[in-house]
Amino acid sequence: MRLLSWISSFLLTAAFAAACSSPAPAPQAQATPPASTVSVDRGKYIVSTAGCHDCHTPMKMGPNGPEPDMTRALSGHPAEEKVEKGPALSGPWIAAVNSTGTAWSGPWGITYTANLTPDRNNGLGIWTEDMFMRAIREGKHMGTSRPILPPMPWQVYRNLTDDDLKSVFAYLKTLTPVANRVPDAIINEPKK
């Protein structure tokens, strides 16, 4: 205990002394924060760490359980997987997801994860960067219309910087287009 408190008071004193002494010129690498730029690599990094594949890449059964089917990377809910009615849930359960991890049923209705590949008819092919930014920032379908429903976590991704979001869009535009037609969401009327 005595040793610990000695160490912490020593550290505090040292930190205080360092703060008061005239600043030594900091090495260049620390002085300037890394420049934030728009890049495909950065977009790829964000997509692969922010969980986009978890929902937008269909799952298939692998040796260790469900795994993302990267041959269909980010192509959204597969059109041939017909999931038009959610299961009846009871007790504490509030939502359900199908075996590909791309159709979600909950109080809002049924949502199908979007095709994020640049296919012109089924994906982001005709989207502009501005539409993408508004979709994520304002939670509006195609950047303008109905609210984007759960479980798409746009409320989290809206906190990414402009450069981050532009990088994500730039990366998505480099994907191989997949002609997968995702069904429209089935939206429940809000309870009065």
Residues that bind ligand HEC (CB under 6 A): 47, 50-52, 54-56, 104, 111, 113-114, 116, 135, 141-142, 148-149, 151-153, 157, 168, 185
- Give the whole-angstrom CA distance, residue 119 versus residue 102: 18
DSSP SS3 for 88: coil
CA separation for the pair 54, 137 (Å, rounded): 20
In the bound state with ligand HEC, the residue whose beta carbon lies nearer, of 55 and 83, is: 55
Q: Which is nearer to ligand HEC, 8 or 99 (CB)?
A: 99
What is the DSSP code string of 111-176?
A: EE----S--TTTSSTT--HHHHHHHHHH-BGGGTSSBPPTT--HHHHTTS-HHHHHHHHHHHTTSP
Residue 165 CB, nearest distance to ligand HEC (Å)? 8
The residues facing 79 across adjacent strands are none
Nearer to ligand HEC, 60 or 183 (CB): 183
CA dihedral for 5, 6, 7, 8, sign (positive or negative) = positive
User: Minimum distance from CB of 103 to ligand HEC (Å)?
Assistant: 8
7 vs 151 by CB, closer to ligand HEC: 151
Q: In the bound complex, what is the minimum distance in angstroms from residue 175's beta carbon to ligand HEC?
A: 11
Minimum distance from residue 174 beta carbon to ligand HEC (Å): 14
Distance CA 98, CA 50 (A): 21
- DSSP string covering 118-129, please? --TTTSSTT--H
Q: Is 9 or 174 the residue whose CB approaches ligand HEC more closely? A: 174
Shortest Å distance, C-beta 64 to ligand HEC: 21
